[in-house]
Amino acid sequence: MTTLTSRAIQIDQHGGPEQLKLVQISVGEPGPGEIRIRHHAVGLNFIDVYQRSGLYPMQLPVQLGMEAAGVVEAVGEGVTHLKVGDRAAYASNPSGSYCDLRVMPAQWVCKLPDAINFETGAAMMLKGLTAQYLLKRTQPQGGLQPGDFVLFHAAAGGVGLIACQWAKAMGLRLIGTAGSEQKCALALTNGAQYAINYVKEDFLARVKEITAGRGVKAVYDSVGKDTWDKSLDCLAPFGLMASFGNASGPVAPFSPGILGPKGSLYVTRQTLFTHIATRETTQTMADDLFAAVTSGQVKIHIEQRYRLEDVQQAHRDLEARKTTGCTVLTL
């Protein structure tokens, strides 16, 4: 039985970036339903910060990372959609992508089209599949039609820039929020119809002004605590509040009774891993994402690159909101 070694980033306890340790691990042969993949690039995401800090508690010690792209080196029994030598990319549980080489479930690994390079593949899967399920599968009552207004917080982030472009391709009028003029300009360049600098402007008042008082059909919010209350007030009657992250901290408990007077609103907390629970839905969503990228409708902006051994600094920059677009770890 082959045993190989790989560098990996793991944590032994929850805490700050200093908990990220570079270690050597042994990597064996894939079992039934598994593959062994050698990474060429690894994606960095806010969920990695949540897992490191303990906001999403993990059983320790644990290897971090949810996303990567590389080449399949070995295939276990029962795996039919991948073969040795395939270029592949994934976003998946269990965590562990911060490494050179790993064995993992094949279910969430998708063959990467030749037109998409490894860094793009590593940067796009978790964020691109998130944008896909939000805009295509997490819709308000009656769905979304061309011309509809939606509000997207953190519009200059990795998910946000993909969503801006995809929403434009769908004919939606996306209003993006961001924390600087530079980030607002980036959102506009990528297809947002309006961008609000929430440091300088009251985003609720501006949304009401843009929509002539009617509000938006959906709010997509990965910020959490800081944007929640005003976001509810941005919604039109029967609007959808879709929470998918907590960058500013968890949303405080609230009474469902407030949703009635605000317009019989809908509230949902979404996570990618529910949407990609089966091999079939994973592939269907990935095919939609690959088509959007290869057609040019969606461009993946990799704005930061860090070496694997510099992952502590990558986490510091991500938490300090110093990053835009996508970030990858290079190997």
Residue-by-residue DSSP string for 236-285: EEEEEEEE---TT-PPPP--GGGGTTTTS-EEEE--HHHHTSSHHHHHHH
Using the predicted structure, report yes or no on whether residue 2 has a pLDDT greater than 80: no
Q: Give the pLDDT confidence of 73-127 residue by residue, as tens digits.
A: 999 999 999 999 999 999 988 999 999 999 999 999 999 999 999 999 999 999 9
Number of residues that this document lists for the chain: 331
Q: Give the pLDDT confidence of 145-188 residue by residue, as tens digits.
A: 999 999 999 999 889 999 999 999 999 999 999 999 999 999 99
Alpha-carbon gap, residue 225 to 311, rounded angstroms: 27
State the pLDDT at residue 236.
98
Smallest CA-to-CA distance from 82 within 32, 35, 138 is with 35
Using the predicted structure, report yes or no on whether residue 325 has a pLDDT greater than 90: no
Q: Which domains are delineated in the chain?
A: 4-127+279-330 (3.90.180.10), 139-269 (3.40.50.720)
Tell me what the mean pLDDT of segment 285-306 comes to.
Answer: 96
Sign of CA dihedral 212, 217, 223, 225: positive
Alpha-carbon gap, residue 40 to 299, rounded angstroms: 20
What is residue 113's DSSP assignment?
Answer: P
Residues near 283 by beta carbon (within 8 Å), at least 6 away in sequence = 81, 110
State the pLDDT at residue 55.
87
Q: Of all residues in the chain, what percent carry a pLDDT higher than 70?
A: 100
CB 158 within 8 A of CB 326: yes
State the pLDDT at residue 43.
97
State the pLDDT at residue 61.
96
State the pLDDT at residue 44.
95
Using the predicted structure, report yes or no on whether residue 226 has a pLDDT greater than 80: yes
State the pLDDT at residue 146.
98
| pTM for this predicted structure | 0.92
Tell me what the mean pLDDT of segment 23-41 comes to.
Answer: 97
State the pLDDT at residue 323.
87
Average pLDDT over all residues of the chain: 95
Tell me what the mean pLDDT of segment 263-282 comes to.
Answer: 95
Q: Give the pLDDT confidence of 299-311 residue by residue, as tens digits.
A: 999 999 999 999 9
Tell me what the mean pLDDT of segment 10-17 comes to.
Answer: 97
CB 38 within 8 A of CB 73: yes
Tell me what the mean pLDDT of segment 58-69 comes to.
Answer: 96
